[in-house]
Amino acid sequence: MTETQEEFKLSAADLVAKVKELIAAGNARRIIIKSETGTSLLEIPLTLGVAGATALALLTPVLAAVGALAGVLTKCSIIVVKNVPEPEAPQEEIRGE
């Protein structure tokens, strides 16, 4: 598996909604919230296989912390770390002579 990162820049008002959206999607492995200056403020490790409403219920305390951060920030960025399966190598046909 290959690890990829996506970065979203957004206002603090949109922070909680975006984090909920990313958790519900279920394909993120880790979410990192950074300030405008690039300082890492919060890292949220996500368990593989837990997605949707179950993940949101389990992460309610984390979402409360994200909401508190949104109260003191004006702009921030979210970095989403995902595991992406590597493409399979093409199979060669075996031909008999």
50-63 pLDDT per residue, tens: 555 666 677 788 88
Looking at the domain assignment, is residue 62 inside a domain?
yes
Q: Which two tokens stand for residue 64?
A: 């409360």
Looking at the domain assignment, is residue 68 inside a domain?
yes
Looking at the domain assignment, is residue 90 inside a domain?
no
Cα–Cα distance list, 3 to 13, 24, 80 (Å):
28, 19, 10
Q: Which residues contact 16 (CB under 8 A, 6 or more apart)?
A: 63, 66, 67, 70
What's the total number of domains in the chain? 1
52 is in which domain, residue-wise? 2-84
Looking at the domain assignment, is residue 95 inside a domain?
no
**pTM for the structure as a whole:** 0.74
Q: Tell me the per-residue pLDDT of 6-50, one tens digit each, with 9 for 90 and over.
A: 999 999 889 989 988 888 887 888 999 999 899 999 998 886 555
Looking at the domain assignment, is residue 14 inside a domain?
yes
Looking at the domain assignment, is residue 66 inside a domain?
yes
Looking at the domain assignment, is residue 97 inside a domain?
no
